[in-house]
A and B are shown apart, each in its own frame.
Chain A
Amino acid sequence: MRSAPVLLEMRSITKTFPGVTALADVNLEVRQGEIHAICGENGAGKSTLMKVLSGVHPHGTYTGEIVYQGEPVRFSDIRASEHAGIVIIHQELALVPGMSITENIFLGNEPRKRGGIDWKAAQRRALELMAEVGLQEDPDTLVKDIGVGKQQLVEIAKAFAKDVRLLILDEPTAALNEADSRHLLDLLRGIRGRGVTSIIISHKLNEIEAVADTITILRDGRTIESLDVKADGVNEDRIVRGMVGRELHSRFPDHTPNIGEVFFEVRDWTVRHPISADRLVCKGSSFNVRRGEIVGFAGLMGAGRTELAMSLFGRSYGVYLSGQIFKDGEEVRLRTVSEAIDHGLAYVSEDRKAIGLNLLDDIKTSMVAAKLPKVAHHGVIDQVREYRYAEEYRQSLRVKTPSVDEGVTKLSGGNQQKVVLAKWMFTDPDLLILDEPTRGIDVGAKYEIYGIIQRLADQGKGVIVISSELPELIGLCDRIYTVFEGTVTGEVPRAEADPEHLMKQMTSTKKTPIR
């Protein structure tokens, strides 16, 4: 493979967002006709790099150079990159569910005849393309009536219709079952034979090992290494080492845990997807939390950690099928959010803007929103009391704001997160479930958030931390559960937690015995 000519070269790409450097001096070299995998933890910069390549982040918003087919290129938008034969297929498919396969394949690219659409030609060409990707369906079938795997094939056929030369797939198998995944990977091998180059971003390392010719590993927005799979004898362990091999030094406050008895336990928790009745998002998950303990949940995106947390929190996600929750030795039923709050649960969501906060609110209103009766007399809110509580939290959590009357949108990400934490601390919970509590927050604020989490544990509360950053879990948690495809696959005490071991359990269904 090293002998083939270079198709694409991205040279010292640097891309910064306000306050964050997403990519720092990244280099990528893709050769003609290969399958090139890009690996890295969440937030390593994979998607940003692909957005730079495809023109989502247009020329001028980054520094560095892109050389494609031997010439420097400067894409101003997606259309420009598509014109050059670069097509990106995102994790969330860009298909119109209510249109037929043919219509979707040619959407925005319709064959024309005398001012109208040449449906005859479209139909004929669609059939050819469908044969190429191995999609056996009536081209008039609506896209919403076929499975996710076949929809993925429609996306690829759509890319072929645009004369694709470089196909980029972002987590193409994340939503697919095993058979569909295998078909897709075979298809990638097939198109390689016909000179189409592909870049694949995936968390499923076994698939990458099986299909990729070259692997580029990103970490913290930097290129770590580029591996030739055949020549270098790459295996999963080797990839994992590249992905997580980072020094852990004191990014965490010192903390001596004071751990008590198990007070919260979940047994065989099984929940199905809210819409597709045959898809289980939680499969017989069991775990427990002790007083004063910080418990981590490690898993890749889409592993089902958020779904597990939300389904526990008043059945806020999916359809409950079976399983039990025990608190202080007694079984509790948490059918609504208010029941969950009354039983001392708190859930801080991963997306604070979309579902964690009302962005129209000011700080004090947000902080008391989850337990208004605490600041009210007979249903009438006591403004002075509301203000005093908010002021108390502002000081103890060090929220940087001139006043608690300010709107929450005026705060930085880290301070918004403190407001959300205050909102849930205000409900006097026994168990806090924190879903990605430091996502999108700068390093200094992260340190403060870790301190808050440790203080909560020291008050005898149990804290569950869901995080996609392994170093964070290892640095913060007393115990870590790994989750893969909706199942708790392992339990690792802090002393034995190392990234490679965790990453292995996070990428395989093989259940290691739970101690």
Chain B
Amino acid sequence: MSRIKDLQKNLFGGTTSNARQFGMIFTLVAIVLLFQIWTNGLTLTSGNLIAVVSQYSYILILAIGMLMVIVAGHIDLSVGSVAAFTGIVVAKAMQEFSLPWPVGILLGLAVGALIGAWQGFWVAYVGVPAFIVTLAGMLLFRGGNQYIGNADTVPVPEGFRAIGAGFLPEVGPDTGYNNLTLLLGLAACAAVIWRELKSRQTRREMNADVAPMWISVLRMAVMVGVIVFATLRFAGGRVGTSLPISGIILIGLVLVYSHYTRNTIGGRHIYAVGGNSRAAELSGVKLKRVNFLVMMNMSVLAALAGMIFVARSSASGPQDGLSWELDAIAAVFIGGAAVSGGLGTISGSIVGGLVMALLNNGLQLEGVGSDMVQIIKGLVLLLAVAFDVYNKSQGRFSIIGTLMRPFRRDDPPPPTGTTSLTDAGKAPVSG
């Protein structure tokens, strides 16, 4: 096997490889590079990266929940309203009853769970399509927000603001960087290396093809490189800034939910329901419970996103969370989820969300108006999904294959009549 073929096969982990996801990683890299050049290096500065994370972390948190909803074959249009409703309830409770902020957060999560149970009940147990239930929820909770807040803004206390606008504290010796962010980066590098080695071992135990060592090393080097770069950027910003707390919450959720969707029985059941609900039911999957939990989980995450947003803008208002659902849904579909359910990954959705975020950010840095930004985002969404549909109609398709084609010389067909070297090697020894 040639090295290029090895690379093609193994570069991206090899499991459930999905042309769309590869495509999106390339797109993401391309967008970053494009804007980096276009903005004369503004995109990858510490300040801008920190701003992007704190500005888009709540959308990405929504994308996690939305991915699971879409994989199960549903949709949730209410997340923006649920976020806004939770925000005002929490802000109001802390203002009127002077609740301590940790209690406020717990209250918010409880409100999310309650709303989720309400929506999950209609979807799972009554059988109303999620589109309708959450469209109703969108109106209901938007109205609820304005009813409770009298269509006014309600400020939140200082402590609460940390989850949206906070940074890691400065501790330890003065290294010129934020030390805790450095430590996180170090841990991430160790985790990446450990994971790569563990996955090699797992594949050996499964008697599966183990990628050549140089591929693993290359892959680790690329990822460690990206992490080191990001760590230095986030740690090296203005004094007092670091990787935002909201970014840390996001990373934690991504890790937990990735593990859940990929490796647990519960996660498998979500994919089974979305892939073929009747087959899942006949395999003993409790369809209603899965649907209920998926919808409920979405609302809890929406509540969390709402609180982070309120914390960041230090007040809850009637316009919070407008059209968030569309951003979250777009992120999931750009990230490779199937419209019909059953397919999609958390990491894909995060990449999809980052594509949207960086596109938005880069265009804003360039001073492009919000009119053009929306037009461009709309086209990106359409093209990403059209690309997927086209792929499916064409059968097998590999972005990597397409990209590599100019560099690859197809093996010449074995000459007929004569025996090539490899054939001779395999042929039984006669005589």
A residues sitting closer than 8 Å to B (CB atoms) are 313-314, 316, 336-338, 340-341, 347, 349, 354-361, 365, 369-373, 376, 379-381, 383-384, 387-388, 391, 403, 405, 423
How far does the Cβ of B206 sit from chain A's closest Cβ, in whole Å?
A: 4
**Chain B stretch 363-379: residues in CB contact (< 8 A) with chain A:** none
Asked whether, in the complex, the Cβ of A357 is within 8 Å of the Cβ of B264, the reply is no
Which residues of A sit under 8 angstroms from B205, Cβ to Cβ?
384, 387
Which residues of B sit under 8 angstroms from A361, Cβ to Cβ?
271-272, 275
How far does the Cβ of A373 sit from chain B's closest Cβ, in whole Å?
A: 7
Asked whether, in the complex, the Cβ of B271 is within 8 Å of the Cβ of A360, the reply is yes
Asked whether, in the complex, the Cβ of A357 is within 8 Å of the Cβ of B208, the reply is no
Asked whether, in the complex, the Cβ of A372 is within 8 Å of the Cβ of B276, the reply is no
Which residues of A sit under 8 angstroms from B279, Cβ to Cβ?
354-358
Which residues of A sit under 8 angstroms from B264, Cβ to Cβ?
376, 379-381
- Chain B's closest residue to A340 (CB) is B284
A–B Cβ pairs within 8 angstroms, 27 of them: A313-B282, A337-B285, A340-B284, A354-B276, A354-B279, A355-B282, A356-B279, A356-B282, A357-B279, A358-B271, A358-B272, A358-B342, A359-B275, A360-B276, A360-B343, A361-B271, A373-B265, A379-B266, A380-B264, A381-B268, A384-B202, A384-B206, A387-B205, A387-B206, A403-B208, A405-B208, A423-B283
Quick one: which of A347, A371, A391, A405 contacts B282, CB cutoff 8 A? A347
A458, B375: Cα distance in complex, Å: 67
Which residues of A sit under 8 angstroms from B284, Cβ to Cβ?
314, 336-338, 340-341, 370-371
Which residues of B sit under 8 angstroms from A370, Cβ to Cβ?
283-284
Closest 7 CB pairs of A and B: A358-B275, A338-B284, A387-B206, A370-B283, A360-B275, A355-B278, A358-B276
A358, B273: Cα distance in complex, Å: 9
Asked whether, in the complex, the Cβ of A355 is within 8 Å of the Cβ of B276, the reply is yes
Which residues of A sit under 8 angstroms from B259, Cβ to Cβ?
380
Give B237-276 as 1s and 0s: 1 = Cβ < 8 Å from A's Cβ atoms: 0000000000000000000000100011110110110011
A155, B244: Cα distance in complex, Å: 68
How far does the Cβ of A317 sit from chain B's closest Cβ, in whole Å?
A: 10
A387, B208: Cα distance in complex, Å: 10
Which residues of B sit under 8 angstroms from A383, Cβ to Cβ?
202, 206, 263
How far does the Cβ of B13 sit from chain A's closest Cβ, in whole Å?
A: 13
Asked whether, in the complex, the Cβ of A376 is within 8 Å of the Cβ of B265, the reply is yes
A340, B284: Cα distance in complex, Å: 8
A383, B276: Cα distance in complex, Å: 22
Asked whether, in the complex, the Cβ of A379 is within 8 Å of the Cβ of B265, the reply is yes
CB within 8 Å for A360 and B342 given contacts A338-B284, A347-B282:
yes
A160, B39: Cα distance in complex, Å: 73
B residues sitting closer than 8 Å to A (CB atoms) are 202, 205-208, 259, 263-266, 268-269, 271-272, 275-276, 278-286, 342-343
Which residues of A sit under 8 angstroms from B268, Cβ to Cβ?
365, 369, 372, 381
Which residues of B sit under 8 angstroms from A340, Cβ to Cβ?
284
Which residues of B sit under 8 angstroms from A423, Cβ to Cβ?
283
A356, B264: Cα distance in complex, Å: 22
How far does the Cβ of A389 sit from chain B's closest Cβ, in whole Å?
A: 11
Which residues of A sit under 8 angstroms from B271, Cβ to Cβ?
358, 360-361
Asked whether, in the complex, the Cβ of A338 is within 8 Å of the Cβ of B275, the reply is no
How far does the Cβ of B265 sit from chain A's closest Cβ, in whole Å?
A: 4
How far does the Cβ of B163 sit from chain A's closest Cβ, in whole Å?
A: 29
A141, B379: Cα distance in complex, Å: 47
Which residues of B sit under 8 angstroms from A380, Cβ to Cβ?
259, 263-265
A208, B167: Cα distance in complex, Å: 83
- Chain B's closest residue to A348 (CB) is B282
A383, B14: Cα distance in complex, Å: 15
A360, B272: Cα distance in complex, Å: 9
Taking A316-B282, A381-B268 as given, write out 17 further A-B residue pairs in contact, using a Cβ cutoff of 8 Å, ordered by the A residue number.
A337-B282, A355-B282, A356-B282, A358-B279, A358-B342, A360-B275, A360-B276, A360-B342, A361-B271, A372-B265, A372-B268, A376-B264, A376-B265, A379-B265, A383-B202, A387-B206, A391-B206
Which residues of B sit under 8 angstroms from A373, Cβ to Cβ?
265
Asked whether, in the complex, the Cβ of A381 is within 8 Å of the Cβ of B265, the reply is yes
A370, B280: Cα distance in complex, Å: 8
How far does the Cβ of B199 sit from chain A's closest Cβ, in whole Å?
A: 9
Which residues of B sit under 8 angstroms from A357, Cβ to Cβ?
276, 279
Asked whether, in the complex, the Cβ of B282 is within 8 Å of the Cβ of A349, the reply is yes
Which residues of B sit under 8 angstroms from A391, Cβ to Cβ?
206-207
Quick one: which of B208, B283, B342 contacts A369, CB cutoff 8 A? B283
How far does the Cβ of A391 sit from chain B's closest Cβ, in whole Å?
A: 8
Which residues of A sit under 8 angstroms from B263, Cβ to Cβ?
380-381, 383
- Chain B's closest residue to A384 (CB) is B205
A351, B342: Cα distance in complex, Å: 19
How far does the Cβ of B225 sit from chain A's closest Cβ, in whole Å?
A: 28
- Chain B's closest residue to A358 (CB) is B275
- Chain B's closest residue to A387 (CB) is B206
Which residues of A sit under 8 angstroms from B343, Cβ to Cβ?
360
CB within 8 Å for A369 and B272 given contacts A337-B284, A379-B266:
yes
A471, B79: Cα distance in complex, Å: 58
Which residues of B sit under 8 angstroms from A337, Cβ to Cβ?
281-285
A365, B271: Cα distance in complex, Å: 11
Asked whether, in the complex, the Cβ of B283 is within 8 Å of the Cβ of A359, the reply is no
Which residues of B sit under 8 angstroms from A403, Cβ to Cβ?
208
Quick one: which of A358, A365, A405 contacts B280, CB cutoff 8 A? A358
Which residues of A sit under 8 angstroms from B282, Cβ to Cβ?
313, 316, 337, 347, 349, 355-356
Asked whether, in the complex, the Cβ of A359 is within 8 Å of the Cβ of B276, the reply is yes
How far does the Cβ of A436 sit from chain B's closest Cβ, in whole Å?
A: 15
A475, B227: Cα distance in complex, Å: 65
A405, B11: Cα distance in complex, Å: 18
- Chain A's closest residue to B201 (CB) is A384
- Chain A's closest residue to B267 (CB) is A381
A336, B343: Cα distance in complex, Å: 27
A381, B286: Cα distance in complex, Å: 18
CB within 8 Å for A316 and B281 given contacts A365-B268, A383-B206:
yes
How far does the Cβ of A274 sit from chain B's closest Cβ, in whole Å?
A: 13
How far does the Cβ of A246 sit from chain B's closest Cβ, in whole Å?
A: 34
A360, B18: Cα distance in complex, Å: 12
How far does the Cβ of B288 sit from chain A's closest Cβ, in whole Å?
A: 10
- Chain B's closest residue to A373 (CB) is B265
A338, B287: Cα distance in complex, Å: 11
A123, B207: Cα distance in complex, Å: 72
How far does the Cβ of A401 sit from chain B's closest Cβ, in whole Å?
A: 14
A406, B356: Cα distance in complex, Å: 33
A261, B206: Cα distance in complex, Å: 41
- Chain A's closest residue to B268 (CB) is A372
Which residues of A sit under 8 angstroms from B280, Cβ to Cβ?
358, 369
A187, B346: Cα distance in complex, Å: 61
A355, B287: Cα distance in complex, Å: 14
- Chain B's closest residue to A362 (CB) is B16
How far does the Cβ of A345 sit from chain B's closest Cβ, in whole Å?
A: 10
A372, B266: Cα distance in complex, Å: 10
Most A CB atoms within 10 A — which of B207, B208, B268? Answer: B268
Which residues of B sit under 8 angstroms from A316, Cβ to Cβ?
281-282
How far does the Cβ of A199 sit from chain B's closest Cβ, in whole Å?
A: 34
Most B CB atoms within 10 A — which of A313, A356, A360, A361? Answer: A360
A423, B280: Cα distance in complex, Å: 12
- Chain B's closest residue to A364 (CB) is B206
How far does the Cβ of A3 sit from chain B's closest Cβ, in whole Å?
A: 54
How far does the Cβ of B6 sit from chain A's closest Cβ, in whole Å?
A: 17
Which residues of B sit under 8 angstroms from A379, Cβ to Cβ?
264-266
How far does the Cβ of A461 sit from chain B's closest Cβ, in whole Å?
A: 18
A228, B259: Cα distance in complex, Å: 70
Which residues of A sit under 8 angstroms from B278, Cβ to Cβ?
354-355
Which residues of B sit under 8 angstroms from A405, Cβ to Cβ?
208
Most B CB atoms within 10 A — which of A355, A356, A357? Answer: A355
- Chain B's closest residue to A382 (CB) is B263
How far does the Cβ of B285 sit from chain A's closest Cβ, in whole Å?
A: 8
A52, B272: Cα distance in complex, Å: 38
Which residues of A sit under 8 angstroms from B206, Cβ to Cβ?
383-384, 387-388, 391
A388, B263: Cα distance in complex, Å: 16
Which residues of B sit under 8 angstroms from A381, Cβ to Cβ?
263-265, 268
